[in-house]
Amino acid sequence: MRIIAKSTLKNFREQPEHRDAQGPLESWYEEATRAAWSSPQAIKAQYRSASICGNNRVVFNIGGNKYRLCVGTHAQCDRIDVESVNEY
């Protein structure tokens, strides 16, 4: 898997209210960059708590499901209007 913007993960975990995400996000990043998943089943074999959402989208539970990380294809990400994504 290729991570396009590691800086997004870094910026998130550096926010005071998300500092506890640092270890889990770093672990996920290291594992994901080394992964060669060939199917949704391969992802689920490594991450049992991941949600396969269809349309080549996956949601990873990070930090004991305190945080969620959504992944999609490059084309899907291009269609996301980051200005309209809600913050929680």
Domain ranges of the chain: 6-78
What is the rounded CA–CA span in Å between residue 84 and residue 51? 23
Q: What is the pTM of this model?
A: 0.75
pLDDT tens figures, 56-79: 778 888 998 898 888 766 576 667
pLDDT tens figures, 22-34: 999 999 999 999 9
CA-CA-CA-CA dihedral for 49, 51, 57, 59, to nearest 10 = -60
pLDDT tens figures, 1-57: 667 678 888 888 999 999 999 999 999 999 999 999 998 899 999 999 998 887 777
